[in-house]
Structure 1
Amino acid sequence: MSYIKTLTLTFLLTLAFFAHAQPSELAPELAVFKPYLGTWQADFKVADNKPKIQDVGIWERALNGQAIHTKHSINKGEYGGESMIFWDREQQSLVFYYFTTAGFYTKGTMKVLSPTQFVAYETVTGSKEGITKVKSISDYKDGEFIVSTSYLKKGEWTKPEKRIYTRSDKQVIFK
């Protein structure tokens, strides 16, 4: 019996060591994203006769805190994407790439507006819908974050779409 107790104690001490040995800090340039870490969902506003749309996303610390990895899926995998956000020392800017299940991708930059708010500017490559640029503003407030997004589609900016994300225990699903 003491052998099992010793193994259990050794296992618990090893877990404690690794928990402290792997810091959960972010690079200072990524501090704005700290409240965004975790899993979120937004239920889009749609007309009564339209099917419901739900976006589930997760924001994670990546690459020893030198990047943020996000992934999301809409309606359990009908559409989704993944991104990596990082500080580009050469550009002295937050930079990100976003890859989608629809076959297009974006490259963008972000500007921090406040300790909980940022704006993202994206250039779109390969959109079948004629979207060439995206601008979004995200603001973390009172335990949720609000995203307002406009698209440059066929030469015209769309009216901003607003989505409110709340904490979730749902999973990001890709088909």
Structure 2
Amino acid sequence: KLTGEGKVRTGSLLAGAVLLALGACLHAPGSPENAAPVVAEVPAAGPMAEAFGPLARLAGTRWRGEPGEADKAHGQPADFSEWYWDLGGSVLVNRHVIADGSYGGVTYIQKNGKTGALDFVYITSAGFRTSGSFMLNEDGTWSSEEDLEGLPHIDKVRSTGRINEDGTMSSVSEFHGADGWTPGHTFVYTRTDEPLPELVPTGVPE
């Protein structure tokens, strides 16, 4: 069972996985006043961009995620994330680093040629990874369940979230381990032009 610092550290490590699913329901208007700050030199979308649906609009944006008040009280850091195309626009990439620079991860999203689903793999600087797929719900929310390999206390992550009227994105996660499903963390993401912190990995969490 995760409590205290261990739970907070795990939440930091899984922040990128949560944001990945969170981005899946991006439906923010594209008007200038709502335009996201653009990451410099982002490759243009390729002919497969349509397959990514609203996710395609994340390319070239950067976000800052703030944890909920309870998590902040336990030292949960903020999370910075940016999105871009790779492999000729056939893969959407998310890179994130937490505010203190001690941990980061990269997510690769690609349409499954057999099932048509948007599958992903999330690879981390701490030596673990997650993989799964997600769905967009008609009410504008998203849901995702991921398999996790490489951490001793958690084997799955389940997340739900939505786009809020003010343009922020909010998420709630749950972790699965020996005690079944337990509450994870909440994050609220806002668009930013702050650069990602320098990543200096501290290793695999205890």
Equivalenced residue count is 154
Does residue 118 of structure 1 match 2:139?
no
Match of 1:64 in 2: 88
Across the aligned residues of Structure 1 and Structure 2, the Cα RMSD in angstroms comes to 2.5
Structure 1: gaps of 5 or more residues: 1-18
Post-superposition offset of 1:35: 4.2
Any conservation in 2 of the 1:119–1:138 contact (CA below 8 Å)? yes
**Which protein shows a greater Rg?**
1
Post-superposition offset of 1:111: 1.2
Match of 1:29 in 2: 51
Relative distance call for 1:52 and 1:131 in structure 2 (3 A) is closer
Q: What aligned pairs does 1:19-168 form with structure 2 within 5 A after superposition?
A: 23-24=44-45, 27-37=49-59, 38-47=61-70, 50-51=74-75, 53-114=77-138, 117-128=141-152, 130-141=153-164, 142-168=166-192
SS in 2 for 1:143: coil
Structure 2: gaps of 5 or more residues: 1-40, 201-206
Cα distance per residue 1:15-35 (max 9 Å; x no partner): xxxx9xx75355222122134
Letter in 1 for 2:51: E
Cα distance per residue 1:29-65 (max 9 Å; x no partner): 2122134331101121355754351111112233333
TM-score, normalised by the number of residues in structure 1: 0.75
TM-score, normalised by the number of residues in structure 2: 0.65
CA distance in 2, matches of 1:59, 1:124: 22
